[in-house]
Amino acid sequence: MDWNTSQLIITGGGGWLGGTLLRGLRQGLADFAPLREPSSNLAIRALALSDHDVQQLEQLPGEIEIVRGDLLDPADCQRLCAGARDAVLIHLAGLIHPRRTRELFQINLHATQNIVAAAVQQGMRRVVAMSSNSPLGCNPRPDHCFDETSPYHPYLKYGKSKMLMEQHLKEVQAAGNIETVTIRCPWFYGPYQPPRQTLFFEMIRDGKAPIVGSGENRRSMGYLENIAQGLILAANVPDAAGETYWLADERPYTMNEIVDTVERLLETEFDIPCQHKRLRLPGLASEVAWAIDWSLQSVGLYHQKIHVLSEMNKTIACRVDKAKRELGYEPNVALEEGMRRSLRWCIDQGLLGRATSN
């Protein structure tokens, strides 16, 4: 693919999505023909926190300049963007599960304001920023899917922090100093996953995967190489300026389908026995968890497990028609193949195997 820029600046380079994007740029995306070849002539500078392990990124073909820093420090933002006139910023750094809710606004809003201000000052051409499904909350009906015209209805403090980020990007676009593209993504999955996703696999193996209510609520998911493809297209398609796009797999999946698919792959392809049980909870469990979550967040506190439980009976589903039509987005990897690759990576890394007997 011919790029409209000679340089990319990427935040969140040491994270799960950032690493997937950098591998896709330097090694190519095998499942999408226009990006199958690596972007070897593209200069890339990536920001990583001081404690992030970037050894695998440093071993990729083609140089990636790693900058250590903190987006809450305007000086670090200026250093990251220095000399990057006409470059494209792909802003992936964000916070989902904080210790205190104020951190959500510090990272998702104020850090975004800092890095976008630096990009404008350095004369960069475009910022592609990662948002979330949370500014829109949960679908109003089980058969409903969000699109880019759906109204804001943020899900608690995380949703509000991302909504404010999106609104800031719209203001920046309207000012005319830099192009902005907002990307919304749901639940990620794919290789190089963090421990919370491996724990989900272990719970399925051990018969402890929570199914709240019927399990027929639908969830959009995004295989990370699909998402990386969409980000690259959003960075490069001229008419994407000022637009918002949902990126996810082609269709949503029910919670039953997600858990059943992982369980079947574990047994039939990786010879890992599963308990064939579910931790079944009434739909009321999620509603009680939501009330507790709201109460905690109202005084600035956050509890990850309660927050996750509050969403477990909800439908959070989107359409990707606009991205397909305007960006040329092709989410070619779906749930079964994506989970197969995820499980294989976990097993190869020694992170997942047969359950140990007590």
Report the chain's mean pLDDT, rounded to a whole number. Answer: 95
Q: What is the DSSP string of 140-188?
A: SSTT--B-TTPPP---HHHHHHHHHHHHHHHHHHHHTSSEEEEEE--EE
338 domain residue, yes or no:
no
For 11, 19, 129, 187, 229, the CA distances from 236, given in Å and listed in that order, are 17, 19, 13, 24, 11
pTM score = 0.96
Tokens of 103: 């951190």
At 238-289, the pLDDT tens digits run: 999 999 999 999 999 999 999 999 999 999 999 999 999 999 999 999 999 9
Domain count for the chain: 1
Residue 177 inside a domain? The answer is: yes
293 domain residue, yes or no: no
Q: Angle formed by the axes of helices 195-205 and 335-348, to 10°?
A: 100
Q: How far is CA 277 from CA 52, 200, 336, in A?
A: 37, 14, 20
Does 291 reside within a domain? Answer: no
Range of the domain at 15: 7-193+220-252+315-333
Q: pLDDT confidence of 170, banded at 50, 70, 90?
A: very high
Q: Is residue 67 part of a domain?
A: yes
Measured at the CA of 94, the angle between CA 261 and CA 251, to 5 degrees, comes to 30
Distance CA 277, CA 256 (A): 12
Give the SS3 label for residue 43. strand
Q: Write down the pLDDT at residue 60.
A: 87
Residue 237 — very low, low, confident or very high, per pLDDT cuts 50/70/90?
very high
Question: What's the CATH code of the domain at 105?
Answer: 3.40.50.720
**Rounded mean pLDDT, 138-151:** 97
Q: What is the dihedral of CA 239, 332, 341, 275, to 10 degrees?
A: 120
Is the residue at 46 inside a domain?
A: yes
- How many whole angstroms separate alpha carbon 115 and alpha carbon 113? 6
Q: Could you give the dihedral angle defined by the CA atoms of residues 65, 126, 223 and 154, in that order, rounded to the nearest 10 degrees?
A: 120
**What is the structure's pLDDT at 53?**
83
Question: Residue 174 — φ and ψ, nearest 5°?
Answer: -65, -30
- Return d(Cα 274, Cα 72) in angstroms, integer: 44
Distance, in Å, from the CA atom of 204 to the CA atom of 288, rounded to the nearest integer, reads: 23
Domain assignment present for residue 266? The answer is no
Strand residues in 282-355 grouped as ranges (E): none
Render pLDDT for 23-67 as a digit per residue (tens, 0 to 9). 999 999 999 999 999 987 899 999 998 888 888 888 888 889 999
* CB-neighbour burial class of residue 13 (10 A; exposed 0-12, middle 13-18, buried 19+): buried
pLDDT band for position 357 (50/70/90)? low
52: in domain? yes
